[in-house]
Amino acid sequence: MKKLLFVLAAGAVGVAFSLGFATRGHSTSAAGCASLAVAVNSDHNLVYDPATGYLHIDYYGQSGHLEGATIDANDPGCRANPGVARAIEHARAAAREVTAGDCAQFKALLNGAPVVAKGGVTPNLAAAKKYIAEEC
Protein backbone atom coordinates (compact mmCIF):
# COMPACT_ATOMS: atom_id res chain seq x y z
CA MET A 1 0.00 0.00 0.00
CA LYS A 2 2.81 2.36 0.93
CA LYS A 3 4.52 1.58 -2.35
CA LEU A 4 1.34 2.40 -4.26
CA LEU A 5 0.96 5.72 -2.48
CA PHE A 6 4.59 6.51 -3.11
CA VAL A 7 4.15 5.85 -6.84
CA LEU A 8 1.00 8.02 -6.91
CA ALA A 9 2.75 10.84 -5.10
CA ALA A 10 5.73 10.69 -7.44
CA GLY A 11 3.40 10.75 -10.44
CA ALA A 12 1.55 13.78 -9.14
CA VAL A 13 4.85 15.58 -8.53
CA GLY A 14 5.83 14.87 -12.13
CA VAL A 15 2.55 16.19 -13.52
CA ALA A 16 2.70 19.27 -11.33
CA PHE A 17 6.21 20.06 -12.52
CA SER A 18 5.39 19.51 -16.17
CA LEU A 19 2.32 21.76 -15.98
CA GLY A 20 4.33 24.33 -14.07
CA PHE A 21 6.81 24.46 -16.93
CA ALA A 22 3.96 24.59 -19.41
CA THR A 23 2.61 27.74 -17.83
CA ARG A 24 6.10 29.24 -17.88
CA GLY A 25 6.10 28.85 -21.64
CA HIS A 26 4.18 32.09 -22.09
CA SER A 27 4.83 34.85 -19.65
CA THR A 28 3.72 38.45 -19.87
CA SER A 29 5.44 41.46 -18.44
CA ALA A 30 4.94 45.20 -18.51
CA ALA A 31 8.39 46.69 -18.53
CA GLY A 32 10.52 49.50 -19.83
CA CYS A 33 11.91 48.83 -23.28
CA ALA A 34 15.53 48.85 -22.15
CA SER A 35 15.10 45.70 -20.11
CA LEU A 36 13.25 43.71 -22.76
CA ALA A 37 15.20 40.96 -24.54
CA VAL A 38 13.21 41.00 -27.77
CA ALA A 39 15.26 39.69 -30.68
CA VAL A 40 14.83 41.39 -34.06
CA ASN A 41 11.91 39.83 -35.99
CA SER A 42 10.99 37.57 -33.06
CA ASP A 43 7.65 39.35 -32.69
CA HIS A 44 4.89 36.98 -33.67
CA ASN A 45 1.61 38.55 -32.57
CA LEU A 46 1.13 42.27 -32.16
CA VAL A 47 -1.86 44.18 -30.83
CA TYR A 48 -1.52 47.87 -31.62
CA ASP A 49 -3.66 50.95 -31.11
CA PRO A 50 -2.25 53.88 -33.13
CA ALA A 51 -4.46 56.31 -31.23
CA THR A 52 -2.81 55.59 -27.89
CA GLY A 53 0.51 53.92 -28.74
CA TYR A 54 -0.56 50.77 -26.86
CA LEU A 55 1.46 47.87 -28.22
CA HIS A 56 1.37 44.33 -26.92
CA ILE A 57 4.16 42.15 -28.31
CA ASP A 58 4.13 38.36 -28.22
CA TYR A 59 7.66 37.27 -29.10
CA TYR A 60 9.97 34.28 -29.00
CA GLY A 61 12.20 34.71 -25.96
CA GLN A 62 15.79 33.52 -25.57
CA SER A 63 14.63 30.15 -24.27
CA GLY A 64 12.55 29.66 -27.41
CA HIS A 65 9.35 29.97 -25.41
CA LEU A 66 6.80 32.63 -26.23
CA GLU A 67 6.84 35.66 -24.02
CA GLY A 68 4.82 38.84 -23.96
CA ALA A 69 5.28 42.49 -23.10
CA THR A 70 3.14 45.61 -23.30
CA ILE A 71 4.87 48.87 -24.18
CA ASP A 72 4.16 52.43 -25.25
CA ALA A 73 5.11 52.59 -28.94
CA ASN A 74 5.44 56.37 -28.64
CA ASP A 75 8.12 56.12 -25.96
CA PRO A 76 11.35 57.33 -27.63
CA GLY A 77 13.33 55.02 -25.37
CA CYS A 78 11.90 52.02 -27.17
CA ARG A 79 13.74 52.90 -30.39
CA ALA A 80 17.03 52.14 -28.68
CA ASN A 81 16.03 48.51 -28.33
CA PRO A 82 16.44 47.03 -31.84
CA GLY A 83 14.00 44.14 -31.36
CA VAL A 84 11.29 46.36 -29.89
CA ALA A 85 11.94 49.02 -32.53
CA ARG A 86 11.43 46.40 -35.25
CA ALA A 87 8.15 45.27 -33.65
CA ILE A 88 7.01 48.91 -33.58
CA GLU A 89 8.00 49.18 -37.24
CA HIS A 90 5.91 46.10 -38.09
CA ALA A 91 2.91 47.48 -36.19
CA ARG A 92 3.17 50.93 -37.73
CA ALA A 93 3.63 49.55 -41.26
CA ALA A 94 0.43 47.52 -40.93
CA ALA A 95 -1.43 50.54 -39.54
CA ARG A 96 -0.17 52.73 -42.42
CA GLU A 97 -1.53 50.19 -44.91
CA VAL A 98 -4.93 50.24 -43.23
CA THR A 99 -4.94 54.05 -43.38
CA ALA A 100 -3.84 54.08 -47.03
CA GLY A 101 -6.65 51.70 -47.97
CA ASP A 102 -9.24 53.66 -46.01
CA CYS A 103 -8.11 56.99 -47.50
CA ALA A 104 -8.36 55.67 -51.06
CA GLN A 105 -11.79 54.22 -50.52
CA PHE A 106 -13.16 57.22 -48.63
CA LYS A 107 -11.96 59.54 -51.39
CA ALA A 108 -13.57 57.33 -54.01
CA LEU A 109 -16.87 57.29 -52.12
CA LEU A 110 -16.88 61.05 -51.78
CA ASN A 111 -16.17 61.28 -55.52
CA GLY A 112 -19.29 59.33 -56.28
CA ALA A 113 -18.33 55.65 -56.05
CA PRO A 114 -21.32 53.48 -55.09
CA VAL A 115 -21.98 53.19 -51.37
CA VAL A 116 -22.63 49.59 -50.36
CA ALA A 117 -24.22 48.60 -47.06
CA LYS A 118 -22.72 45.87 -44.91
CA GLY A 119 -24.89 43.77 -42.64
CA GLY A 120 -27.75 46.17 -43.29
CA VAL A 121 -25.71 49.18 -42.10
CA THR A 122 -25.29 52.05 -44.57
CA PRO A 123 -21.92 53.80 -44.22
CA ASN A 124 -21.80 57.31 -42.79
CA LEU A 125 -20.13 59.50 -45.44
CA ALA A 126 -19.72 62.43 -43.04
CA ALA A 127 -17.30 60.26 -41.06
CA ALA A 128 -15.39 59.53 -44.27
CA LYS A 129 -15.04 63.26 -44.97
CA LYS A 130 -13.78 63.91 -41.45
CA TYR A 131 -11.29 61.05 -41.72
CA ILE A 132 -9.84 62.41 -44.96
CA ALA A 133 -9.38 65.82 -43.37
CA GLU A 134 -7.56 64.35 -40.37
CA GLU A 135 -5.62 61.34 -41.64
CA CYS A 136 -5.07 61.41 -45.40
Phi, psi of 25 (to 5 degrees): -65, -20
Instruction: Residue 63: count other Cβ atoms within 10 Å of its Cβ.
Output: 9
Measured distance CA(70)–CA(58) in Å, rounded: 9
| Cross-strand pairs, 54 | 49, 72
CA 127, CA 125: separation in Å to the nearest integer?
Answer: 5
Does position 114 interact with another protein (CB under 8 A)? The reply is: no
Q: Which of 39, 74, 80, 110 binds another protein (CB under 8 A)?
A: 39
**CB of residue 74 to another protein, shortest distance in Å:** 14
Interface residues with another protein (CB under 8 A)?
Answer: 2, 5-6, 8-9, 12-13, 15-16, 18-23, 25-26, 28, 39-52, 54, 56, 58, 60, 64-66, 68, 70, 90-91, 94-95, 97-102, 104-106, 116, 118-124, 126-128, 130-131, 134-135
